Structure 1
Amino acid sequence: MTSGYAAGTDTVEPSAHDGSRAMRVACRLIGLLPTKRNLTGTDWVNGKYPGRTYPSAAAIPWTFKQTHTIQEKRIDGVRTITVRPLLGATRSHIIYTHGGIYLNEFGRPHWWIIAELTRRTGAAVTIPLYRLAPESTYREAFPYLVSVYREVLRTAGPEDVTLMGDSAGGGLAIAQPWAFRDAGLPAPGRVAVFAPWLDVTGTNPTIPKYEAVDPMLSVAGPVQAGLWWAGGDDPRTPLVSPACAPDDLLAAVPPTRIYQGTRDVCMADATVFRDRAVSAGADVTMRIYPGGFHVFPAAPRLPESREVYADLAAFLGRPPLP
C-alpha cells in the first residue's frame, strides 16, 4: 500500500482506484461536497478575504482539556498554545504550524491531528497561531516563529524539537530552520510534514494530472493566496516557496519526513523538493500513499493514517503502541 522514496525521480501516478477501501470511500465522500466546485478560479478568494472579519481559531475541545495541560501565552503579541499529555509524556516537543493556504485559521481537524500526535508520541505540542494573509505576510510570520522557537528552547533541547505542519503549515515547517539559522539559533532535531505546500506559484507542469484526481483542491485560488502571503516579494523566495530554494539552503534541511498522498496537487512540488534536497545532500524521505487525499492524516482512523502516525512515532524515537 505504501511506497517510500528517499531519492531519485520515482513517483506514483495518481489514480482514483488506489489506496485502501476506506481511503477510496473517503475520497468519494469528499468529492460529493461542493468545496472543489466552488473554489475554482480566483473569484472566491478575491471576494471572500480582503476586508473580511479576521477569523478565530477553533476552540480547544473540552475532551482535550481532560487529557492535556493547556498553556496559552502571547509571544510577540500573537496567541500561542502549548498542550502536554497528562499521561505518557516524553521529552519530545513539536512545534506545529497549521495549514489553510495562509488564509484560514487553525480548524477542528487540526485538533484531531494534535490529539493523535500527543497520543502516539507523548510530545508536548506548541501551536503558533501566526497572523494570516491577506492581512499579514511571511515577513511578519517568520520573526514570530523565531520567537516561538526561542521560547520552546527554554525548556527543550534543540535535538528534541520537531517542526511539523500540514499544507501551507508544512511549507512553514520546512522553511523555519533557515530563519532560525539566520537568527543564530541551533537547528531543530527533525522536520515532519503532511502534504506540504512548497511552491506557491503553481507552475509545476505535472500539477494538472494531480489536480484532475484531487477531490479537494484547485490551484488558481491558492496561487492568489500565495501572492498575498509573499506581500509583493518574489513568490519563489525560499521562505515562501521552499522547493525553489538554492542548494546551500536545501543542504541545511534537518532530517525530514514528508507524508504525501497521490490524489493531491501538493504531490508535484513535494517530489521536486525531495529530489532537489536529496541531491544537495539533505536527509529527506517522502512516504507516498497511493490514493491519499490532501492531509489525509487528519482522519486518524484510516489505515494509511495509522501507518503514518506509527512511522512518525518511530521517527521521534517513541516505541509503537501495543
Structure 2
Amino acid sequence: MSKSNIAKIEEAILKFTKPDYMVMQKKVDEFLEKKSQTTEKPVKSIFKSVDFNGMQVFTFGDKKSKNTILFMHGGAYVNEINYQHFLYCYLLSKKLDAYVLAPVYPLAPLHDVNESIEKITELYKSLIDLNTNLILMGDSAGGGFILSFSQYIKTINLTQPDHIITFSPWVDISMSNSPYNDENDPILGEIGLREIGKSWAGNLDTKDYKVSPLFGNVANQAPTLIFAGDNEIFYRDIKLYVEKLEKNDVNVKFITGKGLFHIYPLFPIPEAKKAFKEIKKEIMT
C-alpha cells in the first residue's frame, strides 16, 4: 500500500524543520555545548506529574487500570519529553485501559545512561508491585533505552515486563553500520547522532549493551513488538536487532511502515491508526 497523502505532507514538514545539528559537525558541537550549560527545570505541562525519588514523572489514567505502561520518551537522549509524547500517553491511557507513566529521566550531556538506569530501575520495581499487565514502551532513544533496560534487569534478577513495544528504537548508538543514508530521514542525521551517542554513553563504550542493545544478550526477552519506517536512518540496525531476537527464539513481531519515516506511529496519520490497532492486539493477547 502506498504512503498516505497526509503522511507525505507530514514528512515534508519534518524535512523543512530538520535540526541542523543532526547534519553538521559544527552545529552539533555548539548544540551540546549549549546544552551542557543549561539549568535544569521541571517540565511544564497541563498534564499531572508526581515526584518519584527526585525524578519528575507524568502520569495518565488510573493506577487501578488493567494495564500499566512505562513510557520512555525519545529525543536522542538530549531533548525533553514534548507535547507529542504527552498526547500519545494520554491516548494510550484512554484507549487501552492503562495507567501510563512517563518519567523525565536524566539526559545528556549533563547526565549519562548510568544515572538514568538507576532511577528507572527504582521506578520499575514500584510498578512490578502493582500486579497488572506491565508494558515497557518507548520511541526512538526511549525505545533503545527500554531494550537495553530489559537486558539490564536480568542481571539484577528482576522479572521481565509482560510486553515490550518500541517505535523506531535507537539500537546502536555507536552507529557502526556506516555509511548511513540519512538524506531520506526527515528527522535524524548520522553526524549528530554519533556525537550525541558518545555523550550519552559517558564512560561506557558506545557498543556496551546499556547504550546499544544490539550488542547485548537478548535471550529470554519479553514478547516484543517493534515498528520502524523503511525510510529512516535506523532501519538497517533495527532489522539486525530483530534478526538477533529471532535467532534467540524471542517472540518478536516487526512491522515496517513502507516509505515511512522515523517514529511514524506517533504522528496524526492514517498509518498510525493501523499501528495502534497492532498495539492493542499485542497488549490484549
TM-score by length of 1: 0.82
Unpaired runs of 5+ residues, structure 1, are 2-17
Match of 1:232 among 191, 203, 207: 203
Q: 1:9 aligns to what?
A: none
Q: Deviations over 1:50-109 (max 9, x none)?
A: 332145565333xxx5xxxx451222x2222222159xx731000001111111111111
- C-alpha deviation, 1:171, in angstroms: 0.5
Look up the equivalent residue of 2:9 and give its one-letter code: V
Question: 1: distance between equivalents of 2:271 and 2:82?
Answer: 22
Question: 1: distance between equivalents of 2:116 and 2:211?
Answer: 11
Question: 1: distance between equivalents of 2:40 and 2:168?
Answer: 23
Q: 1:294 aligns to what?
A: 262
Please list, as runs of the form range in 1=range in 2, the aligned pairs for 1:165-176 lying within 5 A after superposition: 165-176=138-149
Look up the equivalent residue of 2:56 and give its one-letter code: R
Match of 1:256 among 218, 221, 224: 224
- C-alpha deviation, 1:262, in angstroms: 1.5
Look up the equivalent residue of 2:32 and give its one-letter code: Y
Q: Deviations over 1:207-243 (max 9, x none)?
A: 32xx121122111111111111111221101110011
Question: 1: distance between equivalents of 2:138 and 2:174?
Answer: 20
Match of 1:315 among 276, 282, 285: 282
* Alignment root-mean-square deviation, CA: 2.0
Question: 2: distance between equivalents of 1:282 and 1:309?
Answer: 22
- C-alpha deviation, 1:172, in angstroms: 0.9
Question: 1: distance between equivalents of 2:232 and 2:41?
Answer: 27
Question: 2: distance between equivalents of 1:84 and 1:192?
Answer: 19
Question: 2: distance between equivalents of 1:78 and 1:58?
Answer: 11
Look up the equivalent residue of 2:50 and give its one-letter code: E
Question: 2: distance between equivalents of 1:56 and 1:255?
Answer: 36
> Is 1:74 matched up with 2:42?
no
Q: 2:151 aligns to what?
A: 178
- C-alpha deviation, 1:204, in angstroms: 1.1
How many residues were matched structurally?
A: 283
Q: 1:218 aligns to what?
A: 189
Look up the equivalent residue of 1:74 and give its one-letter code: F
Q: Which runs of 4+ in 1 moved over 6 A?
A: none
Q: Tell me, what secondary structure is at the counterpart of 1:185?
A: coil
Percent identity, aligned pairs only?
23
Q: 1:198 aligns to what?
A: 171
> Is 1:44 matched up with 2:27?
yes
Match of 2:238 among 267, 270, 276: 270
Larger RCO (CA within 8 A; separation ≥ 6): 1
Q: Assess, with a 3 A threshold, how the Cα gap between structure 1 residues 124 and 221 changes in structure 2: closer, same or farther.
A: same
Q: Tell me, what secondary structure is at the counterpart of 2:57?
A: strand
Q: 1:23 aligns to what?
A: 7
Question: 1: distance between equivalents of 2:100 and 2:207?
Answer: 30
Unpaired runs of 5+ residues, structure 2, are none
Q: Tell me, what secondary structure is at the counterpart of 1:292?
A: coil
Question: 1: distance between equivalents of 2:146 and 2:55?
Answer: 18
Q: Tell me, what secondary structure is at the counterpart of 1:161?
A: strand
Asked if 2 retains the 8 angstrom alpha-carbon contact of 1:80 and 1:127, the reply is yes
